[in-house]
Structure 1
Amino acid sequence: MTGIGIIGSGISGLQLALRLQQLGIPVTLYSAATAEELGAARPRNFPARFGPTQAREESLGVHAWQSDDARVHNWSITVHGEDTDLEFTAALTPPSSVVDFRLYLPHLFEEFTRRGGNALTGPVTVDQVARRHELVVVANGDRSMRELFPVDPARSPHTTPQRILCSGFYHGIREDVPHTLDIHFLPGIGEILRIPFLSRLGPAHVLAFEAVPGGPLEPPAHLDADADPAGFHREVLRLVAEYAPSLRERVDSARFGLVAPGELAQGGVTPAVRRGWAQVADGTCALAIGDAWITNDPLTAQGANLGSHTAFALAELIASAAGPLDAEFCRDASARLWEHARHVVAWSNAFLAPPPPHVRDLLGRAAGDKRVADAFVSRFHDPVAMWAVLSHPDGVDSFVKSCT
């Protein structure tokens, strides 16, 4: 048995494979799909990659799509209230990168193989991989892999989806300020987001409903857009007009629609943290990263960024290991990875609940002072620092003082 076997070709698995390759550590990537199949699938998510993730991509030599068609420079935030709305626009520094993963993942996959990486495609079991390698890293969150890593109830407060999602690539929406994301917070109802995005079919807009289950934003998640596209688009525009009227004013009804059939993702996500490692065939161990380990609701846009951070951190732990990559190594590595991830999980879960008074106060201060607004939005790059601010009223006070 030699080297590391990585199961999964999402951002976590591919960045880990590229980083281990860069460090000279033997690695084999196991992917259920070829690069071409990754690029031809339906959209599953719409990730924003923040500054630190882009810096890691730079270090790997895979940071592409650096034009403004693939960047978000500003956030326009509206918190809807019973009497008045709270609104502000803030600069995101550095800008996030917003590239369809059906472009991004094949690019990383092809770079890995172009540099001599060993990639095997097709179905595989953890036991099969474990018999070939010193350590297995599972970065594939499908159901068969998740069974190996049961949910950790102490770290997983939710057992059902907290939002029902309906997100797709659309055309026919105008931007008042180019390269600006819109997010409408509707307490007790959910969120509506519009994000300029580089899709595989060119520049587009992601329009996303994050619906509190059973609430008025949920219906589009259950409609068949392929069977009745006109009816689906009517329902989407009706909800935007009712709950985000300023966004509806920028929609050209004659042009509005999905950029192509099938360019839509619907369903629910249950936030969960699973056990971080397990012993498998012949005593070999498997470590979980990415969706195999942690599933966060996408509202705070941390999933891909946490996956990238974890991939690099694990690569360094593997490279610096003084002994075998055994159960002791896996136990220690999982604990050390959790020290960063726990802040992301806590913050992501907190964002799904109505904001406490000190967070509402921070949003109010951001609406009144652009220095606070810019610093708040740019702090999304650093979830550890963000959670230190939002987790306690003292954190908000210190943050505002540091801005002003």
Structure 2
Amino acid sequence: MTGIGVVGAGISGLQLALRLQQLGIPVTVYSERTAEELGAARPRNFPARFGPTQAREETLGVHAWRSDDARVHSWSVTLHGEDGALEFAAALTPPSSVVDFRLYLPHLLTEFARRGGPVRTGPAPMDRLAREHDLVVVAVGDRSVRELFPVDAARSPYTAPQRLLCSGFYQGIHEDVPHQLDIHFVPGAGEILRIPFLSRLGPAHVLAFEAVPGGPLEPPARLDADADPAGFHREVLRLLAAYAPSLRERVDTACFGLIAPGELAQGGITPVVRRGWARLPGGTCALAVGDAWITNDPLTAQGANLGSHTAFALADLIASAEGPLDAEFCRAASARLWEHARHVVEWSNAFLAPPRPHVLDLLGRAAGDKRIADAFVSSFHDPVAMWAVLSRPEGVDAFVRDCTGEGPRPAG
């Protein structure tokens, strides 16, 4: 047996493979699809990669798409309510990178192969991988691995999707502020987002509905946009007019629509944490990362960034291992990776529930003080620090004091 087998060509698997390759550790990537097939697929997700992820890409020598067409520099946040809307705009420092994964993943896979990394395309039976490698890392959450890594019920409070999703690449939307993301929180209904994005067909807008199941934002997730494009677009515009009117005003109906047929992703994601490792036939072990381990709702934009963080952390653990990559190693490695991941999971799950009073208080303060707004939005790059702020009222108070230099708030 030799080296590491990495199953999956998502951000977790490919960054792990590239980092192990960089550290001189033999690694083979197993991908269901070739780079060309990854680039030709329908969109599945629309990830924003924050500053730390981009820094890891610089370390790997794969950071590309440096133009502003592939960056978000600021956010516009609107919290709708019965008494009107709470609004603020904030700078995102550093800017996030927003690149279609149908460009991004083939780039990483091709670069791994160009540097001499072996890539095996097609089915990858676990019994064969167990015979060929010292450790198998599974980074794809397909049906076959769900049995290998059962749900960790203690870490998975939800058993069904908390949002029904409809996201696509659109044209015909005007930007009031270039390279700015818009997010509208609609209590009880869900969220509407518009994100400037570099798609495989060029600059576009991602328009995303995150609908509370059974709520008024759900219809786009159920409609067949291929069968009735005009009807689908009418429903999208109706909901924008009703729930995000300032965004609807920026739509040019003469040219509004998906940038091409099929440029849409619909469905529901159940947030879940699975067991982090398993024994394979013959005694070799498998570690779960990426979607094989943790699936978060995309609302807090942490999925790809957690995948990148986990890839680097695991590569360091493998490189520094003094003994075999056995069950003891996998148990300890999974526990170490969870020390960071739990903050992402708890924060992402909390954001799916109605905001708690101290979070509403923070949003109100951000609307009144740009220092707080900028710090709040830019903290999305650090989920550990962000969850420390949002998880308790004392965290919000400390965050505000750090932003403004004010003393503690009086009791009562």
Task: Verify same fold: TM over 0.5.
Answer: yes
1:43-58 matched pairs, under 5 angstroms: 43-58=43-58
Letter in 2 for 1:315: A
Q: Which residue of 2 aligns with 1:284?
A: 284
Letter in 2 for 1:402: D
Letter in 1 for 2:120: L
Rounded Cα–Cα distance in structure 2 between residues aligned with 1:246 and 1:104: 32
Q: Which residue of 1 aligns with 2:294?
A: 294
SS of the equivalent of 2:141 reads coil
Q: Please report how far the alpha carbon of residue 346 of structure 1 lies from its aligned counterpart in structure 2 after TM superposition.
A: 0.2
SS of the equivalent of 1:282 reads coil
Letter in 2 for 1:140: V
Q: Which residue of 2 aligns with 1:102?
A: 102
Letter in 2 for 1:394: E
Q: Please report how far the alpha carbon of residue 146 of structure 1 lies from its aligned counterpart in structure 2 after TM superposition.
A: 1.7
Q: Please report how far the alpha carbon of residue 302 of structure 1 lies from its aligned counterpart in structure 2 after TM superposition.
A: 0.2
Q: Which residue of 2 aligns with 1:347?
A: 347
Letter in 1 for 2:403: C
Rounded Cα–Cα distance in structure 1 between residues aligned with 2:133 and 2:92: 42
Q: Which residue of 1 aligns with 2:130?
A: 130
Q: Please report how far the alpha carbon of residue 281 of structure 1 lies from its aligned counterpart in structure 2 after TM superposition.
A: 1.5
Q: Which residue of 2 aligns with 1:391?
A: 391
The question of 1:144 aligning with 2:144 is answered yes
Q: Which residue of 1 aligns with 2:217?
A: 217
Letter in 2 for 1:56: R
Rounded Cα–Cα distance in structure 2 between residues aligned with 1:54 and 1:193: 22
SS of the equivalent of 1:281 reads coil
Rounded Cα–Cα distance in structure 2 between residues aligned with 1:120 and 1:71: 33
Q: Which residue of 2 aligns with 1:233?
A: 233
User: Deviation digits for residues 84-123 of structure 1, max 9, x if unmatched?
Assistant: 1100000000000000000000000000000000010001
The question of 1:245 aligning with 2:209 is answered no
Rounded Cα–Cα distance in structure 2 between residues aligned with 1:58 and 1:244: 37
The question of 1:263 aligning with 2:263 is answered yes
Q: Which residue of 2 aligns with 1:19?
A: 19
Q: Which residue of 1 aligns with 2:313?
A: 313
Q: Which residue of 2 aligns with 1:177?
A: 177
User: Deviation digits for residues 186-229 of structure 1, max 9, x if unmatched?
Assistant: 01100000000000000000000000000010011111111110
Q: Please report how far the alpha carbon of residue 51 of structure 1 lies from its aligned counterpart in structure 2 after TM superposition.
A: 0.1
Letter in 2 for 1:16: L
Mark the runs of 5 or more structure 1 residues left unpaired by the alignment: none
Give the % identical residues: 84
Q: Which residue of 2 aligns with 1:111?
A: 111
Q: Which residue of 1 aligns with 2:32?
A: 32
SS of the equivalent of 1:265 reads strand
Rounded Cα–Cα distance in structure 1 between residues aligned with 2:146 and 2:338: 18
Q: Please report how far the alpha carbon of residue 124 of structure 1 lies from its aligned counterpart in structure 2 after TM superposition.
A: 1.3
Rounded Cα–Cα distance in structure 2 between residues aligned with 1:147 and 1:239: 39
Rounded Cα–Cα distance in structure 1 between residues aligned with 2:236 and 2:142: 30
Q: Please report how far the alpha carbon of residue 158 of structure 1 lies from its aligned counterpart in structure 2 after TM superposition.
A: 0.1
Rounded Cα–Cα distance in structure 2 between residues aligned with 1:29 and 1:275: 22
User: Deviation digits for residues 258-291 of structure 1, max 9, x if unmatched?
Assistant: 0000000000000000000000121000000000
User: Deviation digits for residues 168-203 of structure 1, max 9, x if unmatched?
Assistant: 000000000000000000011000000000000000
Q: Which residue of 2 aligns with 1:368?
A: 368
The 10-residue stretch of structure 1 (284-293 or 127-136) with the greater mean CA deviation from structure 2 = 127-136
When normalised by structure 2's length, the TM-score is 0.98
Letter in 2 for 1:143: R
User: Deviation digits for residues 6-57 of structure 1, max 9, x if unmatched?
Assistant: 0000000000000000000000000000000000000000000000000000
SS of the equivalent of 1:80 reads strand
The question of 1:272 aligning with 2:272 is answered yes
Rounded Cα–Cα distance in structure 2 between residues aligned with 1:300 and 1:51: 15
In angstroms, what is the RMSD of aligned CA positions? Answer: 0.4
Rounded Cα–Cα distance in structure 1 between residues aligned with 2:311 and 2:246: 40
When normalised by structure 1's length, the TM-score is 1.00
Rounded Cα–Cα distance in structure 1 between residues aligned with 2:81 and 2:236: 22
Letter in 2 for 1:125: P
Letter in 1 for 2:149: F
Rounded Cα–Cα distance in structure 2 between residues aligned with 1:302 and 1:134: 30
Rounded Cα–Cα distance in structure 2 between residues aligned with 1:290 and 1:363: 31
Q: Which residue of 1 aligns with 2:410?
A: none
Rounded Cα–Cα distance in structure 1 between residues aligned with 2:188 and 2:63: 38
Rounded Cα–Cα distance in structure 1 between residues aligned with 2:254 and 2:134: 58
Rounded Cα–Cα distance in structure 2 between residues aligned with 1:4 and 1:75: 40
Letter in 2 for 1:4: I
Q: Please report how far the alpha carbon of residue 73 of structure 1 lies from its aligned counterpart in structure 2 after TM superposition.
A: 0.2
Rounded Cα–Cα distance in structure 2 between residues aligned with 1:37 and 1:167: 21
Rounded Cα–Cα distance in structure 2 between residues aligned with 1:39 and 1:148: 28
Rounded Cα–Cα distance in structure 2 between residues aligned with 1:335 and 1:151: 16
